[in-house]
Structures are given as C-alpha cells and as structure tokens.
Structure 1
Amino acid sequence: MNQQPKFRFYATLLDAFFEYINSDVIWQKYWGWSENPPHTPEEFHKLQFQELINKINRVPFDSEAADKGTAFNEIVDCLIEGRSSETVKLIKVYEGGKIECSDFKPKKADIVVELIAIYNNRYFYFPMTLCREFADYFKGALTQQRVEAILPTALGEVLVYGLIDELMPTSIHDIKTTRSYTFGKFKNHFQHLVYPYALMKNGSDIRTFEYNIVEFNKNGYPADTYTEIYMFSPERDIPILINHCEAFILFLEENRTLITDRKIFGIEDGRGSDTNKA
C-alpha cells in the first residue's frame, strides 16, 4: 500500500505563499510612490498573511474578477469541445442587436457577434471574435486536465497538483484574464513549474508552457491579448520548486494552530475541493 504524502499543495496556493513572503516588494510596487497609501507595509503584510491562511483553509470568497475568468475559460472549452455549458448560462447576441431568446429564432445566416455569460448572478460580455480566437488556437486540446505528482523534499513528500486549462501535444496552457497587464506578470507563478513537473513524472515530457492572457479595460471589454512563454528546465526549476515547498512547510508548521482544513497535511477529511486552482 502506498503511503499518503505528508503535504498536498496545489499550484496557485504556492503563488499565494510567494505573494505573502514578498509582500514588502508588492507594497512598494503599488504604493511606494503614494503619499497616502491605503495601508502601511506592516498592515499590508498582515492582510497578506490572513489571505493566505484563508486560502489554506479554503474559506469561500466572492470575486468578480475570478468569476469573469471562469466564465471565459468555460466559453473557450465549450467551443473547443462543441458542447453547451452546465455551469455558465450563455446568451448569443447577433449582428443588428438581436438576442437569442424565446421569441427570436436565429437563421443560419445570422452572425453571432457577442456572448453574454451569466455566472454567479453576474453578467459578462465577450466578443465572439475573442472567443473564437482562443478556441481556434486551442483546437484539439484536452481541457481541464488534472495533473499531480509526488515531490520529494527534505521535510517530507509533497503531492503537487492542479488543473491544466488546455493541454496540447507539445505545450501546456493556462488562460488568464486581468484588468492590468505588464510583461512578465506571471513569471513568479508556479503553474509553469508544477504542471510540467507533474506531467514529466507521469511519462509526458512537455516543457513549453504558455500563459495566454486577455487584458480588459475599465469598462470590462477586452483591450488586448498577450502570451508569456516559459520553458521548463528540470535542472533549474525542480530545485526552485523544492525550496519553495520546504519554505511553505515551515510556514505551515509554525502556524498549524490556525489551519482548519487538514487536507494540506495529506489528511483526507472530506472537506474542500481537491481540484482547487483558484
């Protein structure tokens, strides 16, 4: 019988820990120039600490930005797979402003120009050209593929895992939506380390990783698209992943009394979703 790993970390939880330990750098980036910042570096550090603890404990949170990303990703997956959605209500807007509803029966010649996505009682608007651009780029991809692998560390074995948005034969893709983009925004994220590592350990040596990014303007419409490409290097990246996981383990042990979701310690207690990629 295989022994359970001592810890279970999903990729975006490692991102949250990175943001916590670099809270001073983040504060300086966004508010270092301000004469009246919303909080001091010390207050921001405490906020980041609590956000990390809440994420570890899987405390439910409401985020319009996260919902928008979920809705767009689901649209792309529906187009790739030629299916309807069970999680997002989609309304087609046709050329001329006609909306698909009970009293409008579209004809073959009618052209869809926009999709209205309703998710968590929120309405999001996506141009059909953007949706098709992404779906065409990922034609034939495997969508929402869970990957996992054991990562040995000096402090115990860690199961690292997550969901790949789009898996192509020679590349791994994660779709990002953001209100503001600067080049290299995702360079310190851990999906481009965890996912290739997990695939490699399961016999698939795919080292090209892309973040495929949509930037939305202040009115909520797409302003531009970007791609960040990373090449996974086992010799360079596995030690980085191990060091980060070991630092996270030390944090967890120091704050064990605050952690209520025991799944992170490799203990199955039936609470929380094990495919969280938030």
Structure 2
Amino acid sequence: MNQQPKYRIYATLLDAFGAYLNSDVIWDKYWGWSENPPHTPEEFHEQQFQELIDRINRKPFDSEAADRGTAFNEIIDCMIENRKSSIMEISKAYHDDGKLYGIKAVYNNRTFTFHIDLCREFANYYKGALTQQRVEAILPTAYGSVLVYGLIDELMPTSVHDIKTTGSYTVGKFKDHHQHLVYPYALMKNGSDVRTFEYNIVEFNKGGYVVDTYTETYVFNPERDIPILTNHCEEFIRFLEENRELITDKKILGGEN
C-alpha cells in the first residue's frame, strides 16, 4: 500500500532553507568587510526569510542568472538528444567569416550565447545520458513520511550530474547542498544504485564570458548521508509548521494545489 506523504519537498528547496539558516555567514562573507553594507545582518536575514517563503509558495521570480542556467542546460540536452528545443529558440552563431563560434538561445526575452567549445565539452561528457529525469522517494522522519524529489539534469549509468552556472565560484561551493543526497537516495529506493554525484560547474563573469569550469564530486554513503538528509528535512518541517499561516502552496504540506 502506498503511504500518502505528509510533506513533499524538492531538493533545491532544501538548499534554499540551508541558505536561510546560514544567512549570517553569507552576510559576513559578502559584506562583513564593508563600511557601508546595503543592509544589516538582521535585514538580510529578513530578506532571506521572505525569499524562502516565496520559494515555498512557488512565486515566480525573474532572474537573468537563472535564465542563463536554464538556457545552457537546454542547449546541452538538445545536443545530447540531437533535437530541437520546445521551450526556447536555439540557433547557431557565426562570425562574419562564416565560422561557427557559438550556440545562441533566446529565453524569457533574453539572449544568451555560449561558446561552441564549451557546449561540445559538456555534451560530449554526457554522451548517452538520460536528461531531466524526475526522481522521488519516501523518506521516513520523526514528523511522518516525506516525499523528497527533484530533477536530475543528466543521469549516466554510474553517475548523477547536475549542471551549475554561477557568477562566482569557490571550492566546495555545493558541499552543503542536498541534490547529492536526495537524488542518489531516491535512485537507491527505486532499485538503482548510483552513488557518484557530480556538480559540473561553469563560472561566468559579468559579461557572460566563461571564466572556467569545475567539478565537485560526492559519493553517497547511506549510513552517513541519510541521517544528514533526515535531520535537515526535520528542521525544515519545523520551519514549515512554525510558518504554516504564510504557506499558500498546499503541495508541500502533502495536499493538492
């Protein structure tokens, strides 16, 4: 018999909650040295709180950085699957002399161009991957069963991959994220033992040019990682219950919207 989950939580929402919990650390990192910070740590914490509530409630937000990531991801998927995009306009970009130099995507009225070498590097790396695979599994917690779920960017026979685009990269940036816990856990619960997880990262500068590419690799260890995931989910559930009156998205609380 299928148990109805009491909560439904997607992986990147756990990351957003983690960022909220660490708002003081984040404030310190970006503005701790500043004589004239744009906001106090308290104001920043409040801002992070509101952003998290908006995220929980699936409030649409407009972000060039997020759109760049979506565009790059879609280009790679189209190249892997040798198909046209149904969600954005993708075309080849040529120099005046007719030489191909990039792939252009128009998404949300924004145009992004990615160098052909970068696109090929990623697409070749994921040759044969299954793209955008939704995974889900029940995670038992002290507060009842939680459905944890998410979308795997690229699923290979022996590894899970998530493509990240960022404006600034430091080593270990994604160490405390939860995709590398949720996705292998969900795969394991569905009978597929794929424990190696890679974040494949592209760092862009302000002009949209590639600074460098990086990889962070994590190997899922159920004995160590399931308790970490469970604790974080339980902490998030306490947050959800404390702020239940602000939550309009019923799905996260196990209902239907």
Alignment of 1:104-183 (within 5 A): 111-183=99-171
The equivalent residue for 1:88 is 88
Task: For residues 39-74 of structure 1, give each alpha carbon's deviation from its aligned partner in whole angstroms, at most 9, with x where no partner exists.
Answer: 001000000000000000001100000000000000
**For 1:216, which of 187, 204, 215 is the aligned residue?**
204
Task: Tell me by how many angstroms 1:94 deviates.
Answer: 2.5
Task: Tell me by how many angstroms 1:2 deviates.
Answer: 2.4
> TM-score of the superposition, structure 2-length normalised?
0.98
Task: Tell me by how many angstroms 1:164 deviates.
Answer: 0.2
Conservation of the 8 A alpha-carbon contact between 1:7 and 1:264: yes
Task: Tell me by how many angstroms 1:25 deviates.
Answer: 1.0
Conservation of the 8 A alpha-carbon contact between 1:125 and 1:221: no
Q: State how far apart, in whole Å, the 2-side matches of 1:88 and 1:57 are.
A: 25
The equivalent residue for 1:105 is none
The list of structure 1 runs, each at least 4 consecutive aligned residues, that deviate by more than 4 angstroms after superposition, is none
Task: Tell me by how many angstroms 1:95 deviates.
Answer: 4.4
Amino acid at match of 1:204: S
Q: State how far apart, in whole Å, the 1-side matches of 2:205 and 2:20 are.
A: 27
- Percent of pairs with identical residues: 75
Task: Tell me by how many angstroms 1:86 deviates.
Answer: 1.0
Three-state SS of the structure 2 residue aligned to 1:245 is helix
Does 1:56 find its partner at 2:56?
yes
Which range moved further: 144-153 or 84-93? 84-93
Q: State how far apart, in whole Å, the 2-side matches of 1:72 and 1:146 are.
A: 19
Amino acid at match of 1:152: P
Q: State how far apart, in whole Å, the 2-side matches of 1:37 and 1:5 are.
A: 43
Count of matched residue pairs: 257
Conservation of the 8 A alpha-carbon contact between 1:178 and 1:213: yes
Alignment of 1:185-204 (within 5 A): 185-204=173-192
Does 1:229 find its partner at 2:221?
no
Task: Tell me by how many angstroms 1:22 deviates.
Answer: 1.1
For structure 2, list consecutive stretches of 5 or more residues without a partner in the other structure. none
Task: For residues 167-200 of structure 1, give each alpha carbon's deviation from its aligned partner in whole angstroms, at most 9, with x where no partner exists.
Answer: 0000000000011111101111100000000000
For structure 1, list consecutive stretches of 5 or more residues without a partner in the other structure. 99-110, 270-278
Does 1:250 find its partner at 2:238?
yes
Conservation of the 8 A alpha-carbon contact between 1:161 and 1:194: yes
Q: State how far apart, in whole Å, the 2-side matches of 1:8 and 1:132 are.
A: 36
Three-state SS of the structure 2 residue aligned to 1:152 is strand
Three-state SS of the structure 2 residue aligned to 1:126 is strand
The equivalent residue for 1:74 is 74
> TM-score of the superposition, structure 1-length normalised?
0.91
Task: Tell me by how many angstroms 1:21 deviates.
Answer: 1.1
Q: State how far apart, in whole Å, the 1-side matches of 2:104 and 2:58 are.
A: 29
Q: State how far apart, in whole Å, the 1-side matches of 2:97 and 2:172 are.
A: 38
Q: 1:248 to 1:97 in 2, by over 3 A?
A: farther
Three-state SS of the structure 2 residue aligned to 1:157 is strand
Task: For residues 133-184 of structure 1, give each alpha carbon's deviation from its aligned partner in whole angstroms, at most 9, with x where no partner exists.
Answer: 0000000000000000000001110000000000000000000001111110
Q: State how far apart, in whole Å, the 2-side matches of 1:20 and 1:95 are.
A: 44
Task: Tell me by how many angstroms 1:131 deviates.
Answer: 0.3
Q: CA RMSD in A?
A: 1.0
Does 1:266 find its partner at 2:254?
yes
Q: State how far apart, in whole Å, the 1-side matches of 2:104 and 2:61 are.
A: 23
Task: For residues 98-126 of structure 1, give each alpha carbon's deviation from its aligned partner in whole angstroms, at most 9, with x where no partner exists.
Answer: 4xxxxxxxxxxxx5221111000001010
Task: Tell me by how many angstroms 1:132 deviates.
Answer: 0.5
